[in-house]
Amino acid sequence: MNIGVLVSGQGTNLQALIDAQARGELAPATLALVISNKPGVPALSRAQAAGIPAVVVEHRGRDRVAFEDALLAELARHGVEAVVLAGFMRVLTSHFLDRYPLRIVNTHPSLLPAFPGVDASAQAVAHGVKLSGVTVHFVDASLDGGPIIAQVAVPVRPDDDAASLHARIQREEHRVLPEVVRRLAAGQLSCQGRLVRAE
């Protein structure tokens, strides 16, 4: 199954996918394309270094439909069958989502439904929770609200700030995201209502 990865920044989750593929742990998923909505970000260099086609589709200067059409055109051109949002910081509408039903997953650095949106680790520290973590979920038109595929809890330490907590959460998401992508490609995820089952 050809996978397209949408990124906006550092691309450490993309790197985890690349590394998993290199170890033979991603099959039957194949990384076919990386799209960044921002030029010059480290994620693009990571894709290029791994020999994965990488393109920039800027949201700037396009309205939402034109941006999503440009994304869809690149994905179609590269035969992409499923999409991973790996630190992609734009909200997608049903115009885009309807083209890949149950074929778009996102990784988010909190135990959803707590702390959706941006700066989830800062939100968790500010709220004083004792437990945060990572959620990988199917994407629907809600903000970080789609059916949950996998979660891993990460304890919050008394001396944590947003950066230290996020760093420990990222270690877990780098492990769980490739595993979810492999299962998705293998047809091992089914979804009834909000309930996702992994075979």
**Binding residues for ligand GAR, per CB under 6 A?**
7, 9-13, 43, 86-87, 107-109, 120, 144, 170, 173
Report the distance separating Cα 101 and Cα 115, nearest Å.
Answer: 25
Cis peptide upstream of residue 28 (ω within 30 degrees of 0) = yes
Least separation in angstroms between residue 103's CB and ligand GAR is 18
Structure tokens at 81: 């069958």
Instruction: Tell me, yes or no, if 59 is annotated catalytic.
Output: no
Structure tokens at 152: 């891993």
Q: Which is nearer to ligand GAR, 120 or 189 (CB)?
A: 120
Least separation in angstroms between residue 79's CB and ligand GAR is 24
Q: Are 181 and 84 in contact (CB under 8 A)?
A: yes
Q: Which is nearer to ligand GAR, 26 or 43 (CB)?
A: 43
Helices (H) and strands (E) in the chain, counts: 6, 9
Least separation in angstroms between residue 110's CB and ligand GAR is 8
Task: Identify the three-state secondary structure at position 146.
Answer: coil
Least separation in angstroms between residue 197's CB and ligand GAR is 23
State the residue number with the nearest CB to ligand GAR. Answer: 87
Q: Which of 108, 137, 166, 174 is catalytic?
A: 108
Q: Which is nearer to ligand GAR, 107 or 132 (CB)?
A: 107
Report the distance separating Cα 71 and Cα 86, nearest Å.
Answer: 15
Q: How do strand 189-192 and strand 195-198 relate by DSSP bridges?
A: antiparallel
Q: Which is nearer to ligand GAR, 15 or 68 (CB)?
A: 15
Report the distance separating Cα 55 and Cα 98, nearest Å.
Answer: 22
Give catalytic residues, as residue numbers. Answer: 108
